Every structure is written in C-alpha cells, then in structure tokens.
Amino acid sequence: MSNAPTIHDVASVAGLSSATVSRYLQGRHVRTADRIAEAIQELNFRPTPAARSLKSGTTGSIAVVVPDITNPFFAAVVKGVESISRQEDYHIFLYNTEEDGLREAAILADLRGRVDGIILTPADESQAAVARLSATGIPIVLLDRDIGDDALFDSILIDNVEGARQAASYLLGLGHRDIGVISGPLDTTPGRTRHEGFLSVLDEGGVILAPTHIQVSDFREEGGYQSALRLLALEIPPTAIFVANNLMCIGVLRALHDMRVEVPGEVSVVGFDDLQLAELLSPPLTVIGRPMEEQGALAIRLLLNRLNGRSAKRRGIVLDTRLIIRDSCAAPSPNRLVKNPTIVRSSHHG
C-alpha cells in the first residue's frame, strides 16, 4: 500500500481492462460489476481528481469569494453554499478579498482551471472589474452586489431599496425628522441602493437632511464608530440613526456606548442585517433582516443550474427584506442630545 491504487490496479485485480472499470465508475452497465466493486473495496480505490479533471476539463469545485468570512452575514452565506454543494458533491474554495480590488483580481486570475464556477461578492464594481470577470471565462454568480449593467452575470441580491425604505418609513412614523444616515461606499450596490432608498422616503416625506447628517463610510466597524462620533459631535445631533450594514452598526453601538448615549432615549438606531446577538443587546436592536443561509443556498443552486446548462439566459434573483422591530427605536424625546439647548428651543418655537 505504498502508492495510491490506480484504475489499472483495480482492473488487474478484477481481471479486466481499465476501460471497463472506467465505465463502471461512470455508472454504466457492466457484466462484471460485482467483481469490480470487490476489487475497489479491497484496494480502497478512489479515482484521482487531477486525472479526471485533466481529461474532462471539469473540476467539481467552485470558488466562493467574499470580502470577509468573519462578517456573520458572509459566514451564513458560506454555510448555505457549503451545505448544498456537499449534497451535490461539489467542493468549495474560500477566499477573502478584504474589500481589496487588487486582491480580488489576483484571486480571480488564479482560478482558471481550478474551479467550474464562482460565487462572488465583488469588491470592485468598476468597469475594469467587469472586464476581469468576463475574462475569467468561468460562470459567475454575483452575490449581494450587482455589476455590469448589461445583464452579464447571474445574481442573487436583496431588495436593498425596499429594505432601506422600510427603515426610513419606520423612523418617520415614529416622528423623527432629524435623522443621521451612515451609508456604505456609494460605488457598491448595497451601499448606493440603501443610501438612495433611505433618502427617497425622507424626500417623499418632505424631509431634507443636512449634508452633515449623511455620513458615507466603508461598511467596517471602525468606519461606523467614527461616523457615529461625527454625528454625535454635531451642534444638534440627530434623534435617530440608520446604519447601512451590520459591522458599521456594531461600531455605532460601540460609539454610543462609549459616549454614554442612551438608546433609544437620546438616539434611536436601526441597523441593516440582523446579528445573532441583536436581541441580547441593550436595548435589543431593531434591524432590517433578510434570509442569509438561503441567499447562499440560492447562489449555489443558480450556479449549478448554469453549469449543467439548465438555464439559458441570465437570471437575477431578488430576495425580500423585513423590518424586525425590537427596542432600539422610540419617538424622539425632549431628552434629545443638544450641545446648546437654546438653539433647539428657539428653532422649535420660531
């Protein structure tokens, strides 16, 4: 048992040609099936993936390329992907881009011949990035971020606009007018669409936010922290804050905590994407939620359909969000934070 047994070893033990064994392995009918099965068992034979791959041009693997696996959203997505691919006998490669377009480009370039398909959350939505994706020649499903306007790739997104609108309507309904927004990068799908969706509702409600109230950040915890600090430093801080993703929201909560700002007493908070601990926070956090593992499962299903030639034209799936009301929002109260109370009063009375 020095070297791994090959198909020839199986053939000779069974007293057949390797061609017959190969046919058996393909599941085709063979007279001597049991003898072959026995030999395989005895030798503990498994076909070498590399040899198969070389012959077939197929790998049985797919790549999942996400910004950061420690983001609970992507961890859930990957779990969904992995569970389906296990059932379908696909193997998954995992890559973190760290939101870095260069890293992403390097990874993609390395993927040719290694995977049959890619599930990708692009770090870079530039036209160059689109070209790079097409250049791989590998079927791609876009996850959570859409690029390439000409319906180039399959995608599985969520209704970011509607999600953000749910948050905005809720806050407006509670009576907030002086609202802070912490958005992600506007050159990413979720960054831009959540931003616009949120503002569109305010707009419809006749609420115009001062530029100081609109913080464009980076979807990272530290970015959320800093943005929240800036909002709190305003002469008249907002009575509510909408934070466009989970990581930034954690940063915001940390800032609020550090600054001893009471939620929702002084400021209301709505996050985008649920957190496992959201209900255990103090107060339990109100968020825009969405299916996560399902999004991953759908991504891989979409990809496998494409690989099996079962789907012809490009498919874009959009999942619904939902507002999960907990206790981090309340009507704006007279306790609101102000640097200089008189200003507020005069403005209210004026």
Partner DNA sequence: TTGAAAGCGCTAACAC
Partner DNA sequence: GTGTTAGCGCTTTCAA
**Cα–Cα distance between 209 and 235 in angstroms, integer?**
14
Q: Please state the closest distance from residue 58 (CB atom) to DNA, in A.
A: 9
- Choose the contact partner of 323 out of a second copy, DNA, none; CB within 5 to 8 A by kind: none
Write the burial class of residue 5 (CB in 10 Å: 0-12 exposed, 13-18 middle, 19+ buried).
Answer: middle
- Choose the contact partner of 19 out of DNA, a second copy, none; CB within 5 to 8 A by kind: DNA
**Cα–Cα distance between 233 and 255 in angstroms, integer?**
11
Tell me the CA end-to-end span of the chain in Å, nearest whole number.
91
Backbone phi, then psi, for 217, in 5-degree steps?
A: -120, -145
Q: Please state the closest distance from residue 305 (CB atom) to DNA, in A.
A: 21
Backbone phi, then psi, for 168, in 5-degree steps?
A: -65, -45
**Cα–Cα distance between 266 and 215 in angstroms, integer?**
19
Query: Closest by alpha carbon to 276, among 287, 262, 260?
Result: 287
- Choose the contact partner of 325 out of a second copy, DNA, none; CB within 5 to 8 A by kind: none
Q: Please state the closest distance from residue 22 (CB atom) to DNA, in A.
A: 4
- Please, which of residues 81-100 interact with a second copy by CB under 8 A? 82-83, 86, 91-96
- Please, which of residues 160-219 interact with a second copy by CB under 8 A? none
Q: Is 331 in the site for a second copy (CB under 8 A)?
A: no
Query: Closest by alpha carbon to 292, among 308, 304, 275?
Result: 275
Binder among 34, 41, 113, 233 for a second copy (CB under 8 A) = 113
- Please, which of residues 2-61 interact with a second copy by CB under 8 A? 4, 44, 46-51, 53-54, 59, 61
254: its two tokens: 């940390």
**Cα–Cα distance between 190 and 188 in angstroms, integer?**
6
- Choose the contact partner of 173 out of DNA, a second copy, none; CB within 5 to 8 A by kind: none
Query: Closest by alpha carbon to 337, among 241, 239, 220, 215?
Result: 239
- Choose the contact partner of 114 out of a second copy, DNA, none; CB within 5 to 8 A by kind: a second copy
**Cα–Cα distance between 21 and 5 in angstroms, integer?**
13
Count of CA atoms in the C-beta half-sphere (13 A) of 338: 15
Q: Of 89 and 149, which has the nearer Cβ to DNA?
A: 89
Q: Of 89 and 149, which has the nearer Cβ to a second copy?
A: 89
Give the three-class secondary structure for 151. coil
Q: Please state the closest distance from residue 234 (CB atom) to a second copy, in A.
A: 23
In contact, 88 and 117? CB cutoff 8 Å = no
Q: Is 328 in the site for a second copy (CB under 8 A)?
A: no
Q: Of 70 and 347, which has the nearer Cβ to a second copy?
A: 70
Strands 179-183 and 240-243: parallel
Q: Of 112 and 339, which has the nearer Cβ to a second copy?
A: 112
From the CA atom positions of the chain, what is the Rg in Å?
26
Judged by CB under 8 A, the number of residues near a second copy is 50
340: its two tokens: 């200089």
Polymer length in residues for the chain: 350
Q: Please state the closest distance from residue 61 (CB atom) to DNA, in A.
A: 16
Binder among 8, 28, 31, 114 for a second copy (CB under 8 A) = 114
Q: Is 254 in the site for a second copy (CB under 8 A)?
A: yes
Q: Which region among 247-255, 302-310, 331-339, 340-348 touches a second copy (by CB under 8 A)?
A: 247-255
**Cα–Cα distance between 142 and 43 in angstroms, integer?**
43
Residues that bind DNA (CB under 7 A): 3-4, 6-8, 16-20, 22-23, 25-26, 29-32, 45-48, 51-52, 54-56
* Residues binding a second copy (CB under 8 A): 4, 44, 46-51, 53-54, 59, 61, 64, 68-70, 72, 75-76, 78-79, 82-83, 86, 91-96, 103, 107, 109-110, 112-114, 135, 137, 250, 253-254, 257, 275-277, 279-282
